[in-house]
């Protein structure tokens, strides 16, 4: 009898041991075996704000990311992830385990988005660029940067709000709100306009906003870095003697046609505060987002006696500068002949 009891106990121990081994193996498989199958080196999972676990799994299944769906579902429930979905942009790496993936998602360990914006002309261009990288919509962001009351909260007007955005490369979480994005850009603006830059603007009898508006004109006038400070000096000289800026790019902005090659009397007759042939002083807002190079060129403008400049007749993108109108007329005539020769209208 004792012998049978011993045999029963031994059998039970073996059976339990086998069950434990099987369970341990299966548990290991669920937790630590590779379960994320992606072909690309970097694949991102986007979880929108307000998403449910079903939304998440539908996306994973649609893109055939999970090798074993049931194990992912089971562990998500075990780790209480299903009711704690955090929106964001998450990097999925090849052969990640359920444990690695769920831990990353539950803790909200997003991979930031790198956002670069430059060569921006209009608010609509900025809204399109920014919204293409972040969760909020183009329509929402455009509405915000066109809102005068919201602009006032940051120290701007609806016309000058674009001055707050300093072209550069920034990092954001994909699901940042439109308002938080504006808060971040305002902080970057304050960092950019440090004591040194603010002091230089003050010595010019200009505010940072005015410097940016002038820089936007310089940006549109030339892409030659070695000429930016000289062009800025021309406009500063005109401002000093209350002479209209007569900047062709502002007329193109007023007309709304940036493809114009030559400015005619019809363009100049347009009654717009951005028509600097008609109105002296700076326009009410920037005509583009000037680069840091152009802003610094204005702050460090070249001191000279030039009041005029026009494109060089070799059409290289460089300019001829003149102190007198008579000299300017000669330069302008050479340029007109070059355009006529090429039949550029």
pLDDT digits (tens, 9 = 90+) for 256-271: 998 888 888 899 999 9
Q: Is residue 318 a part of any domain in this protein?
A: no
Q: Is residue 50 a part of any domain in this protein?
A: yes
Q: Give strand pairing partners of 78.
A: none
Residue at a domain's end among 177, 192, 207: 192
* Segment 43-69 mean pLDDT: 91
Q: Is residue 157 a part of any domain in this protein?
A: yes
Q: Is residue 275 a part of any domain in this protein?
A: yes
Residue at a domain's end among 107, 136, 164: 107
- pLDDT band for position 339 (50/70/90)? confident
pLDDT at 290 over 70: yes
Same domain, 65 and 121: no
- Cα separation, 185 vs 193, in Å, equals 12
Question: Of 6 and 268, which is predicted with more confidence?
Answer: 268
Average pLDDT, the chain: 89
Range of the domain at 277: 195-304
Same domain, 118 and 199: no
CA atoms 70, 71, 72, 75: torsion sign: positive
pLDDT at 124: 96
Alpha helices, H only, the chain: 2-32, 53-62, 69-78, 98-107, 123-131, 138-145, 148-153, 178-192, 195-203, 208-221, 225-240, 248-255, 265-268, 292-299, 325-341
**What is the tens place of the pLDDT at every residue in 188-236?**
999 999 999 999 999 999 999 999 999 999 999 999 999 999 999 999 9
Residue at a domain's end among 107, 123, 141: 107
**What is the tens place of the pLDDT at every residue in 271-284?**
999 999 999 999 99
pLDDT at 254 over 90: yes
pLDDT at 344 over 90: no
Token reading at 112: 């930031």
pLDDT at 17: 46
Contact between 235 and 247 (Cβ < 8 Å): yes
CATH of residue 74's domain is: 3.30.1490.480
pLDDT at 324 over 90: yes
Say how many Å lie between the first and final Cα of the chain, rounded. Answer: 113
Q: Is residue 312 a part of any domain in this protein?
A: no
Contact between 163 and 208 (Cβ < 8 Å): yes
* Total tally of structural domains belonging to the chain: 3
pLDDT at 30: 64
**What is the tens place of the pLDDT at every residue in 19-51?**
444 445 455 566 657 778 887 777 899 999 999
* Segment 62-80 mean pLDDT: 88
pLDDT at 19: 44
Q: HSE (CB half, 13 Å, CA atoms) of 344?
A: 14
Same domain, 179 and 205: no
Q: HSE (CB half, 13 Å, CA atoms) of 35?
A: 22
- Cα separation, 172 vs 318, in Å, equals 38
Same domain, 296 and 207: yes
Beta carbons within 10 angstroms of residue 19's beta carbon? 10
- Residue by residue, DSSP assigns 82-116 as TT----EEEEE-TT-BHHHHHHHHHHT-PPPEEEE
Whole-prediction pTM value?
0.87
* Segment 140-160 mean pLDDT: 97
Same domain, 93 and 128: no
Question: Of 322 and 343, which is predicted with more confidence?
Answer: 322
Q: Is residue 24 a part of any domain in this protein?
A: no
Q: Is residue 99 a part of any domain in this protein?
A: yes
Question: Of 14 and 173, which is predicted with more confidence?
Answer: 173
> Where do we find the tokens 């329509």?
139
Query: What are the start-end ranges of the E strands in 14-57?
Result: 43-47
Contact between 171 and 112 (Cβ < 8 Å): yes
pLDDT at 35: 74
Q: Is residue 5 a part of any domain in this protein?
A: no
C-alpha separations of 239 from 144, 154, 214, 246 in Å: 32, 27, 10, 11
Of 310, 139, 101, 146, the closest CA to residue 222 belongs to 310
- Cα separation, 118 vs 169, in Å, equals 9
């Amino acid at each position: 009898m004792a012998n049978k009891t011993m045999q029963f106990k031994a059998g039970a121990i073996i059976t339990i041991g086998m069950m434990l081994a099987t369970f341990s193996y299966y548990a290991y498989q669920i937790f630590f075996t590779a379960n994320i199958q992606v072909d690309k080196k970097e694949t991102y999972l986007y979880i929108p704000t307000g998403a449910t676990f079903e939304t998440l799994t539908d996306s994973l299944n649609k893109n055939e990311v999970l090798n074993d769906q049931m194990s992912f579902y089971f562990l998500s429930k075990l780790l209480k992830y299903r009711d704690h979905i955090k929106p964001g942009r998450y990097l999925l790496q090849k052969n990640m385990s359920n444990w690695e993936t769920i831990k990353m998602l539950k803790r909200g360990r997003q991979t930031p988005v790198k956002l670069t914006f430059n060569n921006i002309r209009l608010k609509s261009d900025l809204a399109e660029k920014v919204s293409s990288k972040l969760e909020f919509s183009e329509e929402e962001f455009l509405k915000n940067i066109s809102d005068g009351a919201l602009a006032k909260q940051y120290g701007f007007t609806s016309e000058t709000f674009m001055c707050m955005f300093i072209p550069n490369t920034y990092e954001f979480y994909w699901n940042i709100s439109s308002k938080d994005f504006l808060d971040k850009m305002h902080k970057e603006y304050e960092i950019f306009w440090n004591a040194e830059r603010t002091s230089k603007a003050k010595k010019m009898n200009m505010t940072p906003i005015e410097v940016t508006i002038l820089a936007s004109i310089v940006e549109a006038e030339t892409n030659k870095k070695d000429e930016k400070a000289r062009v800025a000096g021309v406009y500063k000289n005109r401002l000093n003697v209350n002479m209209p800026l007569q900047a062709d790019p502002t007329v193109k902005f007023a007309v709304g046609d940036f493809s114009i090659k030559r400015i005619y009397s019809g363009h100049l007759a347009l009654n717009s505060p951005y028509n600097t042939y008609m109105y002296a002083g700076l326009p009410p807002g920037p005509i583009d987002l000037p680069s840091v190079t152009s802003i610094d060129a204005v702050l460090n403008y070249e001191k000279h006696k030039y009041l005029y400049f026009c494109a060089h007749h070799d059409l290289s993108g460089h300019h001829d500068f003149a102190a007198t109108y008579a000299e300017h007329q000669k330069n302008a005539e050479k340029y007109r002949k070059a355009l006529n020769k090429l039949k550029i209208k």
